[in-house]
């Protein structure tokens, strides 16, 4: 056993004995009763390693034994993991655990907007890390309890040991499991509150919701997916969203995925879509804004960002989201059991769906959609037509916030506007010229939202209602009308006139349409 492990065990055991308050929920087993042979072999060695005097003292203290047993399991997991990592203890701070990950890490530069750093453990939030590739960071007392939660560890250890869980969708922390499961039973309800669900899942809404939908649609069984690989893929996706973005974060991705699920349930689609179509739709929805930097395409272009150069100033963000998703799919090995041809087809079609969310292409897609509806030639038995409808569905899901209830829609409006204004603040600071809709001194949430609804949302959802004239479509249009009226009321209070619409939207054409009010 390494000296770091000895120090960790010794210090932790003495701290537990001195404080008399350490405990481990659910730990009722002894070393001899452990079902894992290497665990039984390691614990005596760990006790012997810390010295005979301290080992004797610990053996006489049940609290110490429980804590040492729990820590030994964590050490075994770190030692046997394919991805390198280590946990160390700082004796100068008896209440803090420090995490140092040495494995699969991508560093985020202090300057510019590059890929966010990602850790590899599904239950530790590595977004609290900064820019160094090896760094020790203090974790809050709440996260310490999270790390040492024996119930949570037992659940995850089943995945590592390959033991089948009776209910594969039951992956939520036990403290929140009841309420979150109740919400998941109504995941197809358009009034689904993603903000509440994110709180109930302790910030893991994207992982929990998407895993549940994979199970609900029978994709795990149909495609013979390894649940451990699926879990790992979803955790990596969630971690690659930037939590500091007010809008383009994992909660937005979860919201879009839930909306996509609602559209997949619509009669025209549910009767025609294949499991392959559903699989592509859910993956594309969950990854459609992956690694979004929190600024729009014009900002990347005028700052000569490397992504703008790489993608030649064309659908810069969407190409990056797509390529990032493909990278995680390959890294996770989720579809490694499929043929190379099928994997390449999947990556290409996921790209088609994500690229369709580029709002600069809004007029083109809307014109095609309207033409198909006018001619009445959409045939969902045709794979190409189904794929086009899925592109339109993802576009709708991406900008459906104004079609939610006022309580939800208002929160999203405030978040996206704050992200716009944050970009404007950066542009002012560096004298770059403030982008349209990004100046907090001249713009208001009401003006931005009214223009957005009028010129982008209403035309798209009007055509979608022509294609699928269902109760859901009418509900969305109803909320859209009410929300627009509410923002006009706010606008009248602010300006004394209800007829003011942001001129930025009135001037939009096919070149400008997508880039400034980007809500995807």
How far from the centroid of its chain's Cα atoms is residue 155's Cα?
21
What one-character-per-residue DSSP string does 376-436 give?
T---TTSHHHHHHHHHHHHHHHHT-GGGS-HHHHHHHHHHHHHHHHHHHHHHHHTT--PPT
Lookup: tokens for 293: 């930097």
User: How many Å apart are CA 121 and CA 124, to the nearest integer?
Assistant: 6
DSSP 157: H
What one-character-per-residue DSSP string does 257-310 give?
HHHHHHHHTSHHHHTT--HHHHHHHHHHHHHTTTT--SS-HHHHHHTT-HHHHH
What one-character-per-residue DSSP string does 335-374 give?
TTTS-HHHHHHHHHHHHHHHHTT-GGGHHHHHHHHHHHHH
Is 222 catalytic? The answer is no
Asked whether residue 509 is marked as a ligand-binding residue, the answer is no
Asked whether residue 292 is marked as a ligand-binding residue, the answer is no
CB 316 within 8 A of CB 307: yes
Beta bridge partners of 97: 89
Strands 85-89 and 137-138, how do they pair?
unpaired
Asked whether residue 248 is marked as a ligand-binding residue, the answer is yes
User: How many Å apart are CA 179 and CA 81, to the nearest integer?
Assistant: 33
- Segment holding 104, helix H or strand E: none
Asked whether residue 449 is marked as a ligand-binding residue, the answer is yes
Q: Which residues contact residue 312 at a Cβ distance below 8 angstroms, ignoring those fewer than 6 apart?
A: none
Exactly one of 121, 242, 248, 261 is catalytic; name it: 248
Asked whether residue 398 is marked as a ligand-binding residue, the answer is yes
Nearest Cα to 392, choosing from 259, 515, 213?
Answer: 259
Residue identified by tokens 């007010």 is 246
CB 180 within 8 A of CB 201: yes
Asked whether residue 349 is marked as a ligand-binding residue, the answer is no
Residues forming the annotated binding site for Zn(2+)? 252, 288-289, 398
Residues forming the annotated binding site? 248-252, 288-289, 398, 449
Residues forming the annotated binding site for AMP? 248-252, 289, 398, 449
Catalytic residues: 248
């Amino acid at each position: 056993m390494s000296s770091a492990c000895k120090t960790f065990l010794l210090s932790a055991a003495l701290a537990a004995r001195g404080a008399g308050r350490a405990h481990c929920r659910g730990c009722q087993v002894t070393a001899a009763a452990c079902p894992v042979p290497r665990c039984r072999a390691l614990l005596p060695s760990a006790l012997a390693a810390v010295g005979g005097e301290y080992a004797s003292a610990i053996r006489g203290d049940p609290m110490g034994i429980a804590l040492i047993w729990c820590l030994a399991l964590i050490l075994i997991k770190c030692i046997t993991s394919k991805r390198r990592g280590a946990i160390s203890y700082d004796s100068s701070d008896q209440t803090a655990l420090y995490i140092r990950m040495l494995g699969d890490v991508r560093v985020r530069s202090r300057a510019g907007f590059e890929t966010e750093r990602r850790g590899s453990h599904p239950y530790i939030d590595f977004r609290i890390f900064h820019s160094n590739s090896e760094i020790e960071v203090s974790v809050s007392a709440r996260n310490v309890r999270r790390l040492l939660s024996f119930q949570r560890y037992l659940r995850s250890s089943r995945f590592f040991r390959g033991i089948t869980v009776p209910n594969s969708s039951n992956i939520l922390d036990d403290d929140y499991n009841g309420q979150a499961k109740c919400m998941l039973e109504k995941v197809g309800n358009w009034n689904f509150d993603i903000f509440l669900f994110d709180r109930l899942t302790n910030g893991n809404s994207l992982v929990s919701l998407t895993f549940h939908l994979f199970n609900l649609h029978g994709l795990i069984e149909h495609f013979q997916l390894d649940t451990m690989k699926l879990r790992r893929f979803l955790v990596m996706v969630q971690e690659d969203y930037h939590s500091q973005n007010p809008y383009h974060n994992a909660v937005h991705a979860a919201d879009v995925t839930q909306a996509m699920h609602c559209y997949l349930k619509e009669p025209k689609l549910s009767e025609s879509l294949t499991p392959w179509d559903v699989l592509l739709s859910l993956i594309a929805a969950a990854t459609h804004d992956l690694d979004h930097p929190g600024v729009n395409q014009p900002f990347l272009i005028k700052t000569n960002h490397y992504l703008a150069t790489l993608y030649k100033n064309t659908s810069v963000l969407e190409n990056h989201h797509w390529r990032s998703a493909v990278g995680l799919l390959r890294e996770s090995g989720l579809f490694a059991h499929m043929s190379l041809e099928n994997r390449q087809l999947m990556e290409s079609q996921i790209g088609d769906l994500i690229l369709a969310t580029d709002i600069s292409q809004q007029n083109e897609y809307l014109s095609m959609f309207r033409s198909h509806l006018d001619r009445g030639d959409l045939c969902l038995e045709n794979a190409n037509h189904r794929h086009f409808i899925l592109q339109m569905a993802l576009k709708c899901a991406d900008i459906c916030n104004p079609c939610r209830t006022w309580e939800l829609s208002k929160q999203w409006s405030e978040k996206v506007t704050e992200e716009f204004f944050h970009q404007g603040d950066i542009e002012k600071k560096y004298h770059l010229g403030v982008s349209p809709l990004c100046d907090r001194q001249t713009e208001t949430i009401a003006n931005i939202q009214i223009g957005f609804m009028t010129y982008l949302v209403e035309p798209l959802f009007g055509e979608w209602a022509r294609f699928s004239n269902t109760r859901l479509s009418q509900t969305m249009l109803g909320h859209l009308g009410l929300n627009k009226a509410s923002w006009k009321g706010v606008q009248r209070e602010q300006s004394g006139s209800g007829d003011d619409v942001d001129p930025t939207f009135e001037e939009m054409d096919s070149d400008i349409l997508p880039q400034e009010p980007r809500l995807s």
